[in-house]
Amino acid sequence: MLSGLGRLAAQSQERAYEGGWGMHPMWEVWGAWGIAMMVMMFLFWGIVIVGIVLGIRRLMGQGRERQQDAAMDILRQRYARGEITKEEFAARKRDLGE
């Protein structure tokens, strides 16, 4: 039995790939499923990378919004206390982007 397996293994190794420009022998094994799996892999990693980028951008943007809100709060308080005029308030508000 062992000699039969050895002979089978030797025959399978002797069989050369004669495909040239033809179909690869593994095409029969994987076929269209292999291509579909490759496409799914690219989609998966694409979604992962886009998710990471969007997550980082969102985290970076949250800090900026808080700073602008804090600056506007201070500006409103100074205007309410009478420290700045209406024109100064409007000019600084434009500078802050609101």
- For the stretch 50-87, pLDDT in tens is 999 999 988 887 756 565 578 888 989 999 999 999 99
pLDDT digits 0-9 by tens, 6-32: 665 556 555 555 555 666 666 666 677
Model's pTM, two decimal places? 0.40
pLDDT at position 22: 62
pLDDT at position 17: 53
What does the chain come to in residues?
98
**Domain layout of the chain by residue ranges:** 64-98
**Residue 85 region, left (φ>0) first, then alpha (ψ -120 to 50), else beta?**
beta
pLDDT at position 61: 76
